[in-house]
Structure 1
Amino acid sequence: MPITTRAAVVESGGASFTLSDVTLDDPGPHEAVVRLVATGLCHTDLGVASGGLPFPLPGVLGHEGAGVVEAVGSAVTGVAPGDHVVLSFTSCGDCRNCDGGHPAYCATWLPLNLLGGRRADGSSTLSRDGEPLGGHFFGQSSFAERALVDERSLVKVDPDVPLESIAPLGCGVQTGVGAVWNVLKPLTGSTIVVLGAGAVGLSAVMAAALTPATTIVAVDRVGERLALAKELGATHTVDAAAEDLGDALARITGGRGADGVVETTGNVTVLRQGVDALAARGTVVVVGAPPFGSEVSLDVNGLLGGKQVVGLTLGDAETQSFIPALVRLVKEGRLPLHRLISTYPFADIDQAVRDMSAGKAIKPVLTF
């Protein structure tokens, strides 16, 4: 029996979100129906809504969902009705990278999550008045009261933790944390620099504070965000609007440079500054995504000191083990995610978008 639900639909590139009744397809063998309790709003949603990526519109976005399973397909084994779940990205499950524990680098990641708007077989998960809509966004399309979710997007979580407090784990938080824990893996006494103190950057700061790194530098142009970064574990902050980044990092590191840099801004000028600020054998993790086709120039001889530039998707996380660990840290107060979150009723999605774009809200979470 098809389910009709309320969703926030983007009609065309650059249009605002409009609430509309949509119909979910029947769950396939490897899908579940999830009643959303909360969903985070991420810059990726805004980028697609603006028409900046070739996702089929009209469509339903949303990829940081959290909710309760209502029904499961015939082949679903990992979750059952009533389970609390955080929704994350999907993947094919049998390419070399999925097999190797790196599903964020799935061979079919782009069509399955970001660009396709449909299931792998080309069928649509959502329709309105009989017309298919772009859906299956990150295997979920969670800007809706109910979502048809890919089994590999589902992560069962502790039911004692409020879902609105952990919705952002599915994308932004796991990206920032994974940049530090899965790529940089700081050694004792390391210096970590985080470029950009938005949701991903502040997640990286919190993650760095849980490692043996002894110097954690947050860089931004907004004073309130730098103050928050200090409270979340940064030992130093740099206001890039007031001070030259290279000079500031040289001063903080005694001229040695940074062991690890997390670049979250998507600004290629900032990326270049981050690479230049590395110590010998240091690593820059590129997280922020500029428009497709963007290039950056690097000083090749500067790289020969063993510098590494590593691109990152979704923290290179294996979600089934990574997200429950983060949930436990949130529950125990060791990952104070609530400091980043502002909640909005689902109907106020456009206000949440405005507040995020204006820098008023670091991580808006829509509640149902």
Structure 2
Amino acid sequence: MTSQKIPEKMQAAQVVEYNAPYKITIVPVSSDLAPSELLIRVAVAFLCHTDFMVREGILGTPLPITGSHEGAGTVVAVGSAVTAFAPGDRVMAGMLYHACGSCPECKGPQPPPQYCANATACGIKGADGFFAEYARIDSRTAAKVPANVGFVTAAPLACAGCTVYKGVFAKALGLKVVGIDARDGGLELTRKGGADVVVDARKGDGAVVEGVRRVTGGAGVTATVNLSDAKAAAATSCAVTRMHSTVVHVAQPENVTIPFTELIMRDIRVRGSLVSSAKEAQDMLQLVADHGISVHSNAFEGLGEMEQLIELAESGKMKGKGVVIIDQAQIDAEGKGAL
């Protein structure tokens, strides 16, 4: 079922060779949907750290591939088995594509299909992503965007937001928050985001630990979410966490290094986290809507500005998230209340 005439071709920003700039190409719009699929007109796409790993060949991505695994837009067509979405729905697109439903991960304790050994991933491996005018997505990993949440906020939440959902939105969940960063811009955003205590990591590990323990009665924080690739970040995360508690590691350095004195002697539980289930994504968006949460974004207009966005991201000076506005008309419709 479709809601509008779908063009035969579209623009897309693709990785066509490793360690090279994105190439703006004209590619077919594939509207021949599988039963569980949606076709969306992309409004906003997000540039994530993983996109750099794709460009560098670290993930072994077959090329060419349309980049970006985080996006948001409007449904224009649905597959024959889709009942939860209809043309005109505003959606946040999930990264996982075609979970098998039969592997141990799909049948495990996590709500499927959060993990799947056989799934492909939009913009990463096996399926094109959201640096394009249209995209095919799996309805089983998509979530509806509430009316008072904008596409610019929703797109960066599709992976980065889902992965750190309960940590990033801790204030909205009623928790006390300690924020640690080593950049002036990051510290500023942490304060503006409502952290109860902000600690400058540039003062050294000892000062950071002392500062955190001072405001937690000497015990350390109940749980820590680590988003930093810095070599010492995992160790620092364990050091500021109280004994027998949990560190959720989201960052993706080449190696995660933790001294045994922090991990073993203090009985710290370290767990990884990747994306979320569709239900958790929907719950997150509702929390964003209920509390008026927004994402600080650096918006670039159109695929032609891809390299400017990448230059800013690589400079280390970007505050917040980098997004590409694919369809300004959908953004304008939000401002007019025509959602």
TM-score by length of 2: 0.83
1:218 maps to a residue whose letter is G
The change in CA–CA distance for 1:278 and 1:326 in structure 2 (over 3 A counts) is: closer
User: How many residue pairs get matched?
Assistant: 312
Contact 1:158–1:324 (Cα < 8 Å) also in 2: no
Percent identical among aligned pairs is 29
Counterpart Cα distance in 2 of 1:218 and 1:102: 32
Contact 1:259–1:281 (Cα < 8 Å) also in 2: no
Contact 1:56–1:115 (Cα < 8 Å) also in 2: no
- 1:213 aligned counterpart, secondary structure: coil
Q: CA deviation at 1:69?
A: 1.3
Counterpart Cα distance in 2 of 1:252 and 1:34: 47
Contact 1:355–1:361 (Cα < 8 Å) also in 2: no
Contact 2:95–2:122 (Cα < 8 Å) also in 1: no
Given candidates 312, 330, 350, the residue that maps to 2:273 is 312
Contact 1:29–1:76 (Cα < 8 Å) also in 2: yes
Q: CA deviation at 1:295?
A: 4.7
Counterpart Cα distance in 2 of 1:252 and 1:219: 13
The change in CA–CA distance for 1:166 and 1:351 in structure 2 (over 3 A counts) is: same
Counterpart Cα distance in 1 of 2:306 and 2:131: 9
Matched, 1:97 2:98: no
Q: What runs of 5+ residues in structure 1 fail to find an aligned partner?
A: 119-135, 181-203
- 1:20 aligned counterpart, secondary structure: strand
Matched, 1:349 2:306: yes
Contact 2:234–2:258 (Cα < 8 Å) also in 1: no
Counterpart Cα distance in 2 of 1:272 and 1:236: 20
- 1:29 aligned counterpart, secondary structure: coil
- 1:148 aligned counterpart, secondary structure: strand
Given candidates 149, 157, 182, the residue that maps to 1:221 is 182
Counterpart Cα distance in 1 of 2:262 and 2:284: 39
Contact 2:94–2:137 (Cα < 8 Å) also in 1: no
Contact 2:247–2:269 (Cα < 8 Å) also in 1: yes
User: Which residue number corresponds to residue 272 of structure 1?
Assistant: 235
Counterpart Cα distance in 2 of 1:226 and 1:239: 7
Q: Which stretch has the larger CA shift, 37-46 or 354-363?
A: 354-363
Matched, 1:43 2:6: no
Counterpart Cα distance in 2 of 1:168 and 1:159: 17
What do you get for the CA RMSD once the two structures are aligned?
2.5
Contact 1:342–1:365 (Cα < 8 Å) also in 2: yes
Contact 2:186–2:319 (Cα < 8 Å) also in 1: no
Note the 1:21-40 alignment, pairs <5 A. 21-25=26-30, 26-40=32-46
Contact 2:19–2:56 (Cα < 8 Å) also in 1: yes
User: Which residue number corresponds to residue 200 of structure 2?
Assistant: 239
- 2:41 aligned counterpart, secondary structure: strand
The change in CA–CA distance for 1:289 and 1:87 in structure 2 (over 3 A counts) is: same
User: Which residue number corresponds to residue 135 of structure 2?
Assistant: 147
1:173-203 per-position Cα deviation (integer Å, ceiling 9, x unaligned) = 121214x3xxxxxxxxxxxxxxxxxxxxxxx
Counterpart Cα distance in 2 of 1:7 and 1:301: 46
User: Which residue number corresponds to residue 257 of structure 2?
Assistant: 296
Q: CA deviation at 1:36?
A: 0.5
Note the 1:47-196 alignment, pairs <5 A. 47-90=53-96, 91-99=99-107, 100=109, 101-109=111-119, 112-113=120-121, 117-118=125-126, 136-137=127-128, 141-159=129-147, 161-178=149-166, 180=167
Q: What runs of 5+ residues in structure 2 fail to find an aligned partner?
A: 1-5, 327-339
1:1-47 per-position Cα deviation (integer Å, ceiling 9, x unaligned) = 98311000112111111211012443222222211011121111122
Matched, 1:262 2:225: yes
Counterpart Cα distance in 2 of 1:301 and 1:171: 29
Q: CA deviation at 1:268?
A: 4.0
Q: CA deviation at 1:328?
A: 3.0
- 1:325 aligned counterpart, secondary structure: helix
Q: CA deviation at 1:350?
A: 1.5
Q: Which stretch has the larger CA shift, 12-21 or 242-251?
A: 242-251
